[in-house]
Amino acid sequence: MAMRRVDLAAIDRITNEDLLSELDPARLPRHVAIIMDGNGRWAAKRRLPRVAGHRAGADAVRRTVETAARLGLECLTLYAFSTENWKRPRYEIRALMDLLVEYLAKELHSLKKNNIQFRMIGRSEELHISVLEQIRKGELATFQNTGLRLNIALNYGGRTEIVDAFRKIARDVAAGRVQPDQIDDELINHNLYTRSLPDPDLLIRTSGEMRISNFLLWQIAYSEIHVTETLWPDFCERDLLAALIDYQKRERRYGRIGHLEDVPA
């Protein structure tokens, strides 16, 4: 495939078709994870309440899921509500939960039609029963789908996930089902919420912040990170394409040296 180099700094002048032609479909990341940030700032810029930013953020979720499925990504994980987000005002928490429920109710038909398998990752215990019911309904209605796996991280914390995995493993050790020496990467992976999924190849964060914010701490050990200034509610197809093109320019080394860095003696 002929590759023209896209200058990401000049992205405003480039069409979506140009960006698409730049992508190598054979080297797409299997798993893309996104920290959706900037809803509040998007709203503040427009003198709107923060909740209006979250509502616009839910539209960006729709667009991004649709694009990811169309491109043929295997797995997309979106950080919707962290274990720390309970510290926000009650009305904002309520609005975020309502938006998720509304998203699932409205999009279920389209998730099914597009062969998308939806799953929640996070601690379900603290969630309101009405939220949990809608989540379980979405999971049940899509579990046989074989296309994009869509994870929504809700009441999710990377450390909490690791704590939960430790507890499960400790119970297995105490019951004699696992020997301490059998604990390895694979066993820990198997006890995470993302069990059986590939680790994210690409982590995207919007709104220019350079933080991990307790997201997928174990799984992002070797992820490529793409930070965009775009605020989440403005995130659209071209932002995702730009991130994927950026990813395809990286040389993934997993601790090895680069392929041009040495000559045999």
Residues counted in the chain = 265
Give the footprint of ligand FPP on residues 146-165 (CB under 6 A).
Answer: 152
Q: Where are the alpha helices (DSSP H) in the chain?
A: 16-22, 39-45, 50-71, 90-113, 129-142, 158-174, 185-190, 237-249
Q: Binding ligand FPP by CB under 6 A: which of 31, 54, 149, 226?
A: 54
CA atoms of 103 and 109, how far apart (whole Å): 11
Task: Say whether 37 is catalytic.
Answer: yes
Q: Which of the following is catalytic: 18, 85, 145, 234? A: 85
Q: Binding ligand FPP by CB under 6 A: which of 32, 52, 58, 150?
A: 58
Closest approach of ligand FPP to the CB of residue 125, in Å: 20
84 phi and psi angles, rounded to 5 deg: -85, -20
236: its two tokens:
């659209």
Q: Binding ligand FPP by CB under 6 A: which of 23, 39, 111, 227?
A: 39
CA atoms of 32 and 78, how far apart (whole Å): 9
Pairing mode, strands 224-227 and 202-205:
parallel
Selected range binding ligand FPP among 96-104, 122-130, 168-176, 190-198, rule: CB under 6 A: 96-104
Our finding on whether 122 is near ligand FPP (CB under 6 A) is no
> Would you please indicate which residues are annotated as catalytic (active-site) residues?
37, 85
Residue ranges in contact with ligand FPP by CB under 6 A:
36-41, 54, 57-58, 61, 78, 80, 85, 96, 99-100, 103, 152, 232
